[in-house]
């Protein structure tokens, strides 16, 4: 690690600290009132906090995977909606790092360093999981796209949209277009129980023009080499869970100190002295600690797999470690979010406190990729040496 790189990461870390101090206050109210954090997301982009992993030779900080996940956990602890909304952007950066096309890095890194953000319009509803019905057809020198996407995470905040469609031959085609391209309509209709401000609603494409140079193809064939990008994307979900657990701890401590009253038959005169409340807060703290620890350890495994000359087996092991981290981070966040209601009485359920958001948010993130499948894949690897599948979920 050179002194120059240390300075780059240190400078970004200082900016991140300033930014996070502005994000955490008001996060609960923003969610309760459904106020999408447009300004805060733009401030993040302006502060170049979406550029951690851009290499030094391209003008970025060149941070490690572990370093960027330290920031992502902190961001999720401040506002888990923002952290998840930026998942496609951070994944886009990773896809550029592994792309065989140098021209893509030369094209995109300067834009990202200037503060541009990338959203993802990929998932669709009304069809079997993974099936794409959005069509792209040739039109002269370019293409036209028609269709509709759901789970368009971060698109309302984004400058660019990464999109997938199928052509006349049924082959998958990926492309990146400006979010304000004619024919694109972004709708804030995400109605999930949690993560309500992730801008994850519908994106409609009505005869949208796509230039030939906007087509990209970074999909890894089923029999091709394993990519670190899927493990990175899955670990980001675990980082969001870890941040939720830490946020639950922050709220549990604040509520106990400032609002809670001991129940009538408690031996304590104030809640901070009630042994059962202390136990609840201590368990929340332990679970938040565990969630963060497993995420950072798995991030280190990805770093080792990306080291020059690292054997391919390290990518397999990193995928397994990420699956383990996801399982524990989800369990920890869900339990921490439940225990917060044990620090006080009925007042903890008042809507003004919005403490239920922790469980709703943790539960919603957990449903993206059910943890039971993660455990089963890890078990198969430990028992039989079976590698995790290359479905984009491991």
Residues 234 and 372 in one domain: yes
- Could you tell me the pTM of the whole model? 0.94
- pLDDT by 10-residue block (mean), the chain, 394 residues: 59 96 95 96 97 96 98 98 98 95 94 97 80 94 96 95 94 96 96 93 97 78 77 98 98 85 65 82 98 98 97 97 98 97 87 94 94 96 96 84
299 neighbors 66 (Cβ within 8 angstroms): yes
Residue 110 lies inside a defined structural domain of this protein: yes
Q: Which of 117, 152, 182 is the last residue of a domain?
A: 117
Q: What is the pLDDT of residue 9?
A: 94
Q: What is the pLDDT of residue 263?
A: 65
Q: What is the pLDDT of residue 391?
A: 81
Residue 392 lies inside a defined structural domain of this protein: no
Residue 283 lies inside a defined structural domain of this protein: yes
Q: Which of 216, 251, 282 is the last residue of a domain?
A: 216
Residues 80 and 151 in one domain: no
Q: Beta 160-166 vs 172-178: how paired, if at all?
A: antiparallel
Count of structural domains, the chain: 3
Burial label for 130, CB within 10 Å (0-12, 13-18, 19+), is: exposed
Q: pLDDT for 291-307, tens place per residue?
A: 999 999 999 999 999 99
73 neighbors 249 (Cβ within 8 angstroms): no
Residues 102 and 188 in one domain: no
Residues 304 and 374 in one domain: yes
Check which CATH number belongs to the domain holding 19 and give it: 1.10.540.10
Residues 350 and 328 in one domain: yes
> 57: how many CB neighbours lie within 10 A of its CB?
9
What domain range includes position 25? 3-117
Q: What is the pLDDT of residue 82?
A: 98
Check which CATH number belongs to the domain holding 148 and give it: 2.40.110.10
323 neighbors 388 (Cβ within 8 angstroms): yes
């Amino acid at each position: 690690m050179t002194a120059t790189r240390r300075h780059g990461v240190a400078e970004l870390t200082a900016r991140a600290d300033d930014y996070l101090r502005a994000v955490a206050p008001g996060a609960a109210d923003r969610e309760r009132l459904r106020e999408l954090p447009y300004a805060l997301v733009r401030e993040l982009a302006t502060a170049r906090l979406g550029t951690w992993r851009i290499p030094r030779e391209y003008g970025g900080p060149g941070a490690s995977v572990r370093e960027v996940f330290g920031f992502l956990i902190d961001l999720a602890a401040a506002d888990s909606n923002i952290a998840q909304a930026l998942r496609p952007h951070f994944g886009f950066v990773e896809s550029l790092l592994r792309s065989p096309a140098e021209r893509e890095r030369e094209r995109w890194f300067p834009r990202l360093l200037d503060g541009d953000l990338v959203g993802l319009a990929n998932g669709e509803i009304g069809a079997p999981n993974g099936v794409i019905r959005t069509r792209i057809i040739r039109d002269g020198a370019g293409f036209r796209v028609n269709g509709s996407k759901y789970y368009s995470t971060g698109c309302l905040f984004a400058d660019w949209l990464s999109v997938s469609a199928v052509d006349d031959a049924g082959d998958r085609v990926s492309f990146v277009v400006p979010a304000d391209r004619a024919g694109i309509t972004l709708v804030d209709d995400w109605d999930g129980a949690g993560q309500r401000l992730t801008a994850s609603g519908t994106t409609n494409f009505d005869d949208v023009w796509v230039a030939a140079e906007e087509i990209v193809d970074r999909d890894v064939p089923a029999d091709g080499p394993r990519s670190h990008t899927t493990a990175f994307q899955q670990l980001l979900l675990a980082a969001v869970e870890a941040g939720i657990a830490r946020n639950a701890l922050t709220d549990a401590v604040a509520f106990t100190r400032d609002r809670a009253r001991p129940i009538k038959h408690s031996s304590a005169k104030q809640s901070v002295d009630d042994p059962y409340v202390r136990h609840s807060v201590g368990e929340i703290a332990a679970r938040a600690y565990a969630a963060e620890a497993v995420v950072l350890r798995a991030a280190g495994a990805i770093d080792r797999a990306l080291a020059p000359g690292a054997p391919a087996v390290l990518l397999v092991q990193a995928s397994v470690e990420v699956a383990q981290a996801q399982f524990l981070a989800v369990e920890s966040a869900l339990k921490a979010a439940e225990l917060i209601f044990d620090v006080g009485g009925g007042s903890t359920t008042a809507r003004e406190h919005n403490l239920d958001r922790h469980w709703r948010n943790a539960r919603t993130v957990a449903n993206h990729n059910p943890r039971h499948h993660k455990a089963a894949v890890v078990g198969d690897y430990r028992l039989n040496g079976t590698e995790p599948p290359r479905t984009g979920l491991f």
